[in-house]
Structure 1
Amino acid sequence: MLAAGASVALLAAAAPQPAVPLGIGDRLFPHLGNPGYDVRSYDIAFTYRGDNSKPLDAVTKIDARATTWLDRVNLDFSHGTVRSVDVNGARADFATSAEDLIVTPPRSIAPGEPLHITVRHTSDPVPGKEEVGWVRTKDGLAMANQADAAHRVFPCNDHPADKAYFTFRVTAPKGYTAVANGLPVATSPTTRQGGATDWAYRTAHPMATELAQVSIGHSAVLHQKGPHGLPVRDVVPAGDVKALRPWLDKTPAQLAWMEQKVGRYPFENYGLLVARATTGFELETQTLSLFERELFLRPEYPEWYVESIMVHELAHQWFGDSVSPRTWSDLWLNEGHATWYEAQYAEEKARQPMKTRMREAYRASDAWRAAGGPPAAPRAPAHGEKISIFRPVVYDGSALVLYALRQEIGKDAFERLERRWVSTHRDSTATTEDFVALASRTAGRDLSDFFQAWLYGAKTPPMPGHPDWVSEKPQK
């Protein structure tokens, strides 16, 4: 992203407990996610009737496996009405509490047993108190689920620690185009009697719920090829094709540039989703990055700046999407790396010196740490402002850590580390501790003290190779 819930695991013989929302204990979002089961896949169907003021009818099917005894199963879900829930083919009781849907199956689920859940519900695009989820565009809808808004759209285990495969099925009126993460299934699209069209897409790689994307609108879908014949699919407002095509045509070369840096692109396709909406951010939804239309059409933005933002979201496909954070405190690994390659691209393609940018980041770093916490221990989000975790310290403040690391271990070792990181943890999740361990092995020496200071210190350590750099004291 570039900025502007739990299972009850009880023995079958235990006494019944109240149905309450729980969580997996994420430091920043303690009520997010659900222990007790592992989701393998989602199959989600939406029916859109062309009216952004009315809820969509939806069916969410979850294929999971229990990891402990379950008398109840908690799902993250809010901002919709649940009509019925089935568990393993039998009707189940359910209740809602806070942002949890709490399901009581007819019998307890044993560890290792399959858990097939079908929820018939609505999905409401009208904004509420929570942040994002569905984004209402000028001609339809798109999704922006970071950091924890996917459960505003569909029932799920809404934490990046539990990645799964996704299938999306969308029924939309005549004249609308629906797109989603991944590739179209063999039968997509099909036209119903009366003109409505069914669209279906499936991911070839596991995905975190925050990265899910479904767009419905009067869109043009443009196709080109990237490196190695990679399908590149762009989705843009139909009336903006001519104005946007010069920007879209830059993607194949940007893909090739990123592959030179960190290795083969990790997914089945890529492309830009350009939305007629004001969000205040761009977002790295997996295989289909979301961009505001105005980013490309405002004349005051230099070409190099727009291209570097495109590369930021592209870099996330490796850092954040393919290798996802185990906890939200590991966010610096996503945003620090995306900012790093954004800055490196600007340096190489537009002579915008990385050193200058990093020196400015160093100057502001102590203030950023005071305001938002150190990179790997960010402060919790402000009440009612969940996306406030996306602060400067996790962008340039975290890219600064990578700059210091390259200064410390040398360019060659740093570049080996980057490639090893994305290949070792591809299609999985990883932690800050994993990065520290791999960096130490790559450098051939223990870097624990280095990272402890740079990732967790209240003050910014001296920059290796630049003893003259100074970080200004935070203003009180």
Structure 2
Amino acid sequence: MQLTSPRLRASLLAAASLTLVAAVLPPPKPLGIGDRLFPELGNPGYDVLSYDLSLTYKDNRSPLDAVTAIEARSLEPLERINLDFTHGTVASAEVNGQPARFESAGEDLVLTPAHPVPASAPLHITVRHTSDPRGRASDGGWVVTEDGLAMANQADAAHRVFPCNDHPADKAYFTFRVTAPDGYRAVANGLPGALPAARAGGATEWTYRTLHPMATELAQVSIGRSAVLHHTGPHGLPLRDVVPAADRERLEPWLAKTAGHVAWMEERVGRYPFENYGVLIARATTGFELETQTLSLFEHGLFAGEAAGYPDWYVESVMVHELAHQWFGDSVTPRTWSDLWLNEGHATWYEALYADGLGKYPLERRMREAYQRSDQWRAQGGPPAAPKAAAPGQKIGLFRPVVYDGAALILYALRQEIGAAAFDRVERRWVAENQDGIAGTDDFVRLASQEAGRDLTAFLRPWLYGETTPAMPGHPEWGGPAAAAAPGKAPAAAAAPAAAPVAGKP
């Protein structure tokens, strides 16, 4: 039979080509970029420039229909392309407009394009798949709320939601197109990219775009019966908060505090780095709060007040913790997951400074209490800049006290060593020079040395990597970390409400 349709001929030839290519290649295997803590996370050979993610929500019991379109550039010749993806079903894949063979290997989705991709070439990848919100909440990805969904992708769970290069070292721009039934509202990182559009069956599509690159672990999509409240921050910064519609009036006094928090942070580290900011309060129990870019996720129960054991000053300091991450962790993203201390140590530092300014928990007291526990934290979780990997099945176990107060203690020691003025210059330069980029521990040591006017490697290395905690500059009376707490001093855990989660993570 003669083939008269060029499109049909092309389709059959592409399918035959895929079969021949697959026959000569070895079996697919999961790859990674060699992160010490997540060795199979991320993928070599290409750089993602942007994601365009379309999601159709029905209810919390059904997988979402999804299309993920990726614009990337190859860094080397590629016969296969690995993406991080699990917990969804793939229907089809295309590379540069042609069908691609797809297979699973571990937590990777492995694509075999019809033709090998040369180095330095554009990559247009489209994957049609489902995104399943069902499963163990502790695994991360989708968070099921009372009225919908939200995301919590840290540290390595974005690929439970959509195919991606799931490592913070590969930041990209994002577009979200979320379709939800009438009565629901979808909100995502960034700014609205278009007016809400009506779709068939009484549904609405909501579109958002980021104006700055973002790590996959910071992506956020909220779907629920939500109210979106708008305020204005310093220099006209748009503030957008997303809360359960029924709780709007009760939560408004908390939301009104954000503008002041932004102004407080800007006084210390410089201009807020993104297009907008807001608080997403979800009716869910997560055990943590999360700094998703421009729209930080908070548990509803945190704002229950004294009845839940959370005094106002503590709630505000947690709000500042997640806001501080917009500079430290979101705008300046860690080069590897071992650099996590730069995120959490800084966010804890500004959280502690804010509580100190309220007169509720003096900074020096908190640092001394952290110092007394530092050796124990290092023994349990490793040193701050070389933390131990999380136990199997406990991915969020990476977020231990040593990368929170244990890492903030490093910043306190640095300020004691070089003086407050030089320390403040370090902080401002760090976020200004690395905005929208990635940076690691060596970069921080180098910048601090420049501002100090001397090489700080010998001073900082024991603080960053030592099994035991060095002596604290300016505080010989503190003795060693193993020293008992001074009479009348409450332990660190008692300084905040007993029921309170550690700010930022479980």
Q: TM-score, normalised by structure 2?
A: 0.90
Match of residue 333, structure 1, among 336, 342, 362: 342
Structure-1 separation of matches of 2:135 and 2:374 = 35
8 Å CA contact 2:49, 2:71 repeated in 1:
yes
**Cα-Cα RMSD:** 1.4
Match of residue 196, structure 1, among 203, 220, 227: 203
1:89-147 CA distance string (max 9 Å, x none): 00000100110000000011111100000000000000149711000000000000000
Deviation at 1:411, TM superposition (A): 0.1
Q: Secondary structure at the match of 1:376?
A: coil
Match of residue 17, structure 1, among 10, 13, 26: 26
Q: 2:466 maps to which residue?
A: 457
Kindly indicate which of the two structures has a greater share of residues assigned to helix. Answer: 2
Structure-1 separation of matches of 2:84 and 2:176 = 18
Q: 1:269 maps to which residue?
A: 276
- Cα 1:47–1:176 change in 2 (3 A) is same
8 Å CA contact 1:42, 1:167 repeated in 2:
yes
Q: Secondary structure at the match of 1:352?
A: coil
Q: Secondary structure at the match of 2:130?
A: strand
Q: Secondary structure at the match of 2:426?
A: helix
In the alignment, does 2:227 pair up with 1:220?
yes
State the identity as a percent: 69
Deviation at 1:193, TM superposition (A): 4.2
Structure-1 separation of matches of 2:86 and 2:373 = 38
Which one has a bigger Cα radius of gyration? 2
Q: 1:99 maps to which residue?
A: 107
Match of residue 172, structure 2, among 164, 167, 171: 164
Equivalent runs, 1:146-295 vs 2, <5 Å: 146-185=154-193, 187-295=194-302
In the alignment, does 2:333 pair up with 1:324?
yes
Q: 1:402 maps to which residue?
A: 411
Match of residue 344, structure 1, among 338, 348, 353: 353
Structure-1 separation of matches of 2:200 and 2:86 = 33
Q: 2:491 maps to which residue?
A: none
Structure-2 separation of matches of 1:418 and 1:343 = 15
8 Å CA contact 2:305, 2:311 repeated in 1:
no
Q: 1:472 maps to which residue?
A: 482
Aligned length: 460
In the alignment, does 2:68 pair up with 1:55?
no
Deviation at 1:195, TM superposition (A): 2.1
8 Å CA contact 2:305, 2:312 repeated in 1:
no
Structure 1: 4+ residue segments shifted above 3 A: none
1:187-227 CA distance string (max 9 Å, x none): 22112243210100000000000000000000000001000
Greater shift in the superposed pair: 431-440 or 461-470: 461-470
8 Å CA contact 1:179, 1:215 repeated in 2:
yes
Q: Secondary structure at the match of 1:269?
A: coil
Q: What is the letter of the counterpart of residue 481 of structure 2?
A: S
Match of residue 123, structure 2, among 115, 121, 142: 115
Q: 2:401 maps to which residue?
A: 392
Q: 1:9 maps to which residue?
A: none
Structure 2: state its 5+ residue gaps.
1-20, 485-506
8 Å CA contact 1:42, 1:61 repeated in 2:
yes
8 Å CA contact 1:79, 1:128 repeated in 2:
no
8 Å CA contact 2:378, 2:468 repeated in 1:
yes
Structure 1: state its 5+ residue gaps.
1-11
8 Å CA contact 2:56, 2:178 repeated in 1:
yes
Structure-2 separation of matches of 1:346 and 1:408 = 23
- Cα 1:20–1:211 change in 2 (3 A) is same
Match of residue 452, structure 2, among 422, 440, 443: 443
Q: TM-score, normalised by structure 1?
A: 0.95
